[in-house]
A = this chain, B = another copy of it.
Amino acid sequence: MDILARLQAEHEQLSQAEKRIADILLNDFDFAVNASIVELAERAEVSPPTVTRFCRRMGCQNFADFKVQLAKTTFVGARYLNPEAKSTAPADVAEDIITKAQNALFLFHRSFDADLAQTVAHILSNAEMVYAFGSGGNSSLIAEELQNRLFRLGLRISACSDHGMQMMLAAAARQQDVVIGSSFSGRNEELVKVFTLAREAGATTVALTQGGSPVARSADHVIPVDMPEGNNIFRPTSTRFAYLALVDILANLTAYQDKTRATVTLRQIKQQLVAYRDEDDRQLLGD
């Protein structure tokens, strides 16, 4: 747990003086990161020892450790505290987007359950056929991306963002098939129906969605992607980065489940590209 999370978690239980310190951290991060203990104490109108005690309370060994922890979270965390970008100047817009993307990745990683992902990778690897479903622009992107990443490993996979087709495919699914679906909001009722249908057909269902949501409840396995503080701070656009990372992770873990198959398939694809395009073997696997 990083300093900022801890700060927010414990904010209520802080004393008078400690709250003043916390406020400075929250309001003028840059100052706090660069200040000495005396400067920070003066600004908060407390004594240096109080700052030291505050650092201990936040789980740090000493003030130096505290500053390091703080500085580490700056890049990803600073904007999290001051959510809205004020300017529409190109450079500011870019920074805002990059930072929010970084944040999404950071927060996702923090809540990521490796064992769960491993389980899903195992399921994918053993599937006879995989169906990747999603719709609405963002989730359909994820579905396609699942296909794009997993077919390279030798898996049989079909992505589909058409609800009608999804229903038919789900109905036709078999025991050893896997239906993996994504929904950013977790409220895609069509996907719930598809999952239900697929389960009735005996297939295994996996949801990439908000934990505890209707979609999450309707699947056998759920990898939750929860951006804390609700959806307000993050536009769906930054959440996409988290989902994309999740797809990459799943693809990697799946590849390691059956290295031979993955290597062979990748080599086949690569040979095709080299023969067809040029002989530079650093050529990317797919443009």
Residues of A within 8 A of B (CB): 33-34, 36, 64-65, 67-76, 88-91, 93-95, 97-98, 101-102, 105-106, 108-109, 112, 114-115, 117-118, 121, 134-139, 141, 144-145, 148-149, 183-185, 187-189, 229-238, 240-241, 244-245, 248-249, 251-253, 255-256, 262-263, 266, 270, 277-278, 280, 282-287
Contacts and interface: CB of A to CB of B under 8 A. Distances in A.
Contacts of A238: 248
A188 B273 CA distance: 11
A57 B90 CA distance: 32
B138 A233 contact: no
Copies of the protein in its oligomer: 2
A206 to B, nearest CB: 16
25 contacts: A67-B67, A68-B71, A75-B76, A90-B118, A93-B249, A94-B109, A94-B117, A98-B245, A101-B105, A101-B241, A102-B106, A138-B284, A138-B287, A139-B287, A141-B144, A141-B148, A187-B280, A189-B277, A234-B252, A234-B266, A235-B252, A236-B248, A237-B285, A238-B248, A241-B241
Given A76-B75, A237-B248, A34 B65 contact: yes
Nearest to A231: B282
A4 to B, nearest CB: 13
Nearest to A65: B34
Nearest to A189: B277
B189 A135 contact: no
A141 B138 contact: no
A130 to B, nearest CB: 16
Contacts of A118: 90
Given A114-B91, A115-B90, A284-B138, A233 B97 contact: no
B90 A114 contact: yes
Nearest to A287: B136
A14 B34 CA distance: 27
A187 B283 contact: yes
Contact of A93 (B235, B244, B256, B266): B256
Contacts of A72: 33, 71-72, 74-75
A191 to B, nearest CB: 8
A144 to B, nearest CB: 7
Nearest to A90: B114
Contacts of A262: 234
A280 B213 CA distance: 14
Give the residue among A91, A188, A231 with the most B Cβ atoms within 10 A. Answer: A91
B287 A230 contact: no
A252 B277 contact: no
